[in-house]
């Protein structure tokens, strides 16, 4: 299996990304194609022992930065590492594309170079979300700020396929985010989507509230990209706030400081459970190729983890399963696969 | 000052509510009128020393339960403690109404018996939200799942007044929740509301992301009721998840258990900082009367705190200030104050 890795994407690129790529090539037995500026990538690669591994470099002269406008940059930077990498997937020269870069940029480049899967109205950004009962899958996280019921139905289908094939959750419970548990609670979008989700043959469990997401009451959490983004960002913010307040209070008390030192391994373990990066990043679903977008702050381990996720997605034939799911519900558009 | 307290509302009513009412009467020197079933309230009141305090009971034969449908129950239970209490405010027999009960029910009853403030299109539920920099104020929390830009503008005005008059924040920074910090990011609602907020004369600081809310980047956080509900519920859920995971990991390690014991005062202090109930509950803004809705799980202390908030709101002439703010921006409707 060949996986293209965007060597230029992410806060710690290219060093941590190249290191993660080498690690993944060794641990998962895949070929990892590093795409990026050869002059930047080559010296990083030279630091590692790559004997027996397949870690070729493919040159791309441009880089899509984290703060660049997705749609504009996708069109202007035709020789970006993202564009070159995704074109390799498109031509069948690689099986999947992995980046730690600008997720909006990845979406725009994917739409331009890979196109949508047949029948998909809107691709979506999705990610694993830690819950007390293990990982859940959240879709959409920001690709589509304004949605229609048909989009959410397709998100549910894609998320369900991904949860089953990549996360290994059988008959995943699908919930829709709402401002109340009871059916009938919700904004117009939620209320109009509910009948579609009930009829589509998925394991639909109804409305989930914000508090139900971390409680693990559903495996696939469907929402519009605006709300999904708010959920993920609020969670990040609340976790940071709790840790900051806790630290402040502990530091103000010498005895508590001593106690916190003793409890440190437990804190570290808890942090690991709650850490997104452990789960290997987000997936761009609905485009005509496997695209995994890791967290910008990914270290080498998280990069390797994202590559592992890409491998599982390829092996699980996620694209075929999404195509089949979309066809089965008749929610496909009457048009050819976009390119 | 006379404050009506719904003795029947909340998970620990009437016991904790009556206790909180007596405490508030003593600590804040206000008259607290207990409204509810006399046969339930009287024995609770008899447990307390009320010498020198003004804590009369007003009978109301019905109770709006936590799980009842707001609009239906507002109309069917005409003699509920909420209805009787708000009518007293309407008739000028009391200055404010405080309940720990069903917030949707309180809104519906307020619309029926108090009506809207002149010019207000949609009343909103709002609440203080803990941040690392102290309390912020979030509006709307669920009263209006689908909003128009004009509603959000009025939420901003009402929230700004409340933050200034009740929370004591001068020139409060007003932010609108969005899925990105940069202007132009957002769904249609956010993008259409932004020009109104820029032009209205408030201290508008632009978009805030979910993570910016607990970080305290704005004092007044404006959003639609769907998103506001998701923010509050997600925060609750994430906090609970972090504590659950932390507890699990600590309990698995004897040394960490010992450490956690030493650190306990710090944990308790952190919990206090992060505890909503310390801040005295939510406000129902835009109705023609001061209505404070405390958390359903409020203990006596939280009940007293909610009464304190009501007192500050009355003293701060919040209703007059909202009326003036709405008139100044010309966002009022051309209609008479609804009744």
On whether both B63 and B37 belong to a single domain, the answer is yes
Q: Do A238 and B132 touch (CB under 8 A)?
A: no
Angstrom distance (rounded) from CA B169 to CA B159: 11
User: Is B215 in CB contact (< 8 Å) with chain A?
Assistant: yes
B327 within some domain? no
User: Is B184 in CB contact (< 8 Å) with chain A?
Assistant: no
Q: Do B235 and A238 touch (CB under 8 A)?
A: yes
Quick one: CA torsion of A156, A158, A163, A166, rounded to 10 degrees? Answer: -170
Per-residue pLDDT, B174: 98
Q: Do A145 and B253 touch (CB under 8 A)?
A: no
Per-residue pLDDT of chain B (339 residues; tens, 9 = 90+): 999 999 999 999 999 999 999 999 999 999 999 999 999 999 999 999 999 999 999 999 999 988 788 888 888 899 999 999 999 999 999 999 999 998 889 999 999 999 999 999 999 999 998 888 888 999 999 899 999 999 999 999 999 999 999 999 999 999 999 998 888 889 999 999 999 999 999 999 999 999 999 999 999 999 999 999 999 999 989 988 888 888 888 989 999 899 888 988 888 888 877 776 556 678 999 999 999 998 888 899 999 999 999 999 999 999 999 999 999 887 655 444 444
B245 within some domain? yes
**What domain range includes position A81?**
2-120+286-316
> How is residue B303 written in tokens?
């009940």
User: Is A274 in CB contact (< 8 Å) with chain B?
Assistant: yes
A210, A245, A262: residue with CB nearest B132: A245
Confidence category of residue A336, pLDDT binned at 50, 70, 90 = very low
| C-beta of residue A218 within 8 angstroms of C-beta of residue A197 | no
Q: Best residue in B129, B242, B276 to probe A by mutation, most A CBs within 10 Å?
A: B242
A280 within some domain? no
Angstrom distance (rounded) from CA A303 to CA A309: 10
- Those residues whose C-beta lies under 8 Å from the C-beta of residue B271, and which sit 6 or more positions away, are none
Judging contacts by C-beta atoms under 8 Å, the chain B residues touching residue A211 are 233-234, 236-237, 240
B249 within some domain? yes
| C-beta of residue B146 within 8 angstroms of C-beta of residue B224 | yes
On whether both B203 and B157 belong to a single domain, the answer is yes
A165 within some domain? yes
Q: Best residue in B233, B244, B248 to probe A by mutation, most A CBs within 10 Å?
A: B233
Cα B261-B263-B266 angle, rounded to 5 deg: 130
Residue A261 burial (CB < 10 Å; 0-12/13-18/19+)? middle
CA distances from B339 to B115, B117, B266 (A): 4, 9, 50
On whether both A178 and A218 belong to a single domain, the answer is yes
- Those residues whose C-beta lies under 8 Å from the C-beta of residue A195, and which sit 6 or more positions away, are none
Q: Do B259 and A255 touch (CB under 8 A)?
A: no
On whether both B70 and B99 belong to a single domain, the answer is yes
On whether both B52 and B126 belong to a single domain, the answer is no
Q: Best residue in B125, B176, B237 to probe A by mutation, most A CBs within 10 Å?
A: B237
Judging contacts by C-beta atoms under 8 Å, the chain A residues touching residue B236 are 210-211
On whether both B149 and B67 belong to a single domain, the answer is no
Q: Do A263 and B252 touch (CB under 8 A)?
A: no
User: Is B231 in CB contact (< 8 Å) with chain A?
Assistant: yes
On whether both A247 and A111 belong to a single domain, the answer is no
Nearest-by-CA chain A residue for B253: A266
For residue B269, the SS3 value is helix
Q: Do B238 and A240 touch (CB under 8 A)?
A: no
Q: What is the pTM of this model?
A: 0.90
What is the CATH number for A91?
Answer: 3.40.718.10
On whether both B112 and B231 belong to a single domain, the answer is no
Work out the average pLDDT over A245-274.
87
Per-residue pLDDT, A276: 60
pLDDT one-digit tens code per residue, A193-236: 999 999 999 999 999 999 999 999 999 999 999 999 999 999 98
- Those residues whose C-beta lies under 8 Å from the C-beta of residue B278, and which sit 6 or more positions away, are B272, B302, B305
A36 within some domain? yes
CA distances from B176 to A301, B130, B133, B217, B221 (A): 36, 17, 18, 11, 6
Q: Do A233 and B186 touch (CB under 8 A)?
A: no
B177, B250, B252: residue with CB nearest A230: B177
Q: Do B242 and A242 touch (CB under 8 A)?
A: yes
On whether both B106 and B156 belong to a single domain, the answer is no
Residue A134 in this model has a pLDDT that exceeds 90: no
User: Is B66 in CB contact (< 8 Å) with chain A?
Assistant: no
Taking residue B299's Cβ as centre, other Cβ atoms within 10 Å add up to: 19
Q: Do B259 and A260 touch (CB under 8 A)?
A: yes
Judging contacts by C-beta atoms under 8 Å, the chain A residues touching residue B122 are none
Judging contacts by C-beta atoms under 8 Å, the chain A residues touching residue B192 are none
On whether both B229 and B130 belong to a single domain, the answer is yes
Q: What is the tally of structural domains in chain A? A: 2
B330 within some domain? no
On whether both B267 and B303 belong to a single domain, the answer is no
B321 within some domain? no
Average pLDDT, chain A: 92
Per-residue pLDDT, B329: 80
On whether both A75 and A161 belong to a single domain, the answer is no
Per-residue pLDDT, B170: 94
Nearest-by-CA chain A residue for B217: A237
Please give the interface size between A and B, counted as residue pairs whose CB atoms are below 8 Å apart: 224
Angstrom distance (rounded) from CA A69 to CA A60: 19
A179, A224, A225: residue with CB nearest B229: A179
- Those residues whose C-beta lies under 8 Å from the C-beta of residue A115, and which sit 6 or more positions away, are A287, A288, A337, A338, A339
Which of these ranges, A81-85, A134-138, A331-335, has the smallest mean pLDDT?
A331-335
Can you give chain A as a three-state secondary structure string? CEEEEECCCCCCCCHHHHHHHHHHHHHHCCEEEEEECHHHHHHHHHCCCCCCCCCCEEECCECCCCCCCHHHHHHHCCCEHHHHHHHHHHCCCCCEEEECCCHHHHHHHHHHHCCECCCCCCCEEEEEEEECCEEEEEECCCCCCCCCHHHHHHHHHHHHHHHHHCCCCCCCEEEEECCCCCCCCCCHHHHHHHHHHHHCCCEEEEEECHHHCCCCCCCEEECCHHHHHHHHHHHHHHHHHHHHHHHHHHHCCHHHHHHHHHCHHHHHHHHHHHCHHHHCCEEEECECCEEEECCCCCCHHHHHHHHHHHHHHHHCCHHHHHHHHHHHHCCCCCCCCCC
pLDDT > 70 in chain A, percent: 96
């Amino acid at each position: 299996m060949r996986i293209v890795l965007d060597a230029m994407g992410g806060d710690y690129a290219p060093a941590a990304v190249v290191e993660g790529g080498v690690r993944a090539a060794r641990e998962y037995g895949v070929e990892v194609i590093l795409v990026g500026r050869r002059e930047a990538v080559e010296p990083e690669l030279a630091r590692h022992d790559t004997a027996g591994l397949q870690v070729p470099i493919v040159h791309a002269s441009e880089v899509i930065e984290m703060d660049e406008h997705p749609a504009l940059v996708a069109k202007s930077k035709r020789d970006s590492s993202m564009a070159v990498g995704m074109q390799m997937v498109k031509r069948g020269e690689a099986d999947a594309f992995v980046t730690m870069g600008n997720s909006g940029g990845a979406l725009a480049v994917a739409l331009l170079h890979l196109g949508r899967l047949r029948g998909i109205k809107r691709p979506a950004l999705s990610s694993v979300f830690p819950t007390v009962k293990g990982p859940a899958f959240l879709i959409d996280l920001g690709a589509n700020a304004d949605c229609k019921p048909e989009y959410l139905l397709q998100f549910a289908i894609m998320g369900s396929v991904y949860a089953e094939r990549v996360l290994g959750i059988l008959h995943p419970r699908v919930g829709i985010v709402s401002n109340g548990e009871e059916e009938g609670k919700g904004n117009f979008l939620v209320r109009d989507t509910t009948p579609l989700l009930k009829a589509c043959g998925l394991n639909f469990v109804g409305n989930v509230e914000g508090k139900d997401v971390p409680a693990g009451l559903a495996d696939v959490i469907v929402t519009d990209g605006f709300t999904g983004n708010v959920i993920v960002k609020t969670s990040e913010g609340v976790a940071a706030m709790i840790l900051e307040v806790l630290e402040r209070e502990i530091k103000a008390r010498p005895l508590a400081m001593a106690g916190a030192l003793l409890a440190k391994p437990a804190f570290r373990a808890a942090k690991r459970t709650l850490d997104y990066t452990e789960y290997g990043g987000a997936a761009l679903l609905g485009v005509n190729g496997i695209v995994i977008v890791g967290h910008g702050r990914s270290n080498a381990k998280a990069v390797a983890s994202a590559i592992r996720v890409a491998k599982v997605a390829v092996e699980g034939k996620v694209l075929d399963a999404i195509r089949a799911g979309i066809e089965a519900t008749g929610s496909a558009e009457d048009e050819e696969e976009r390119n």
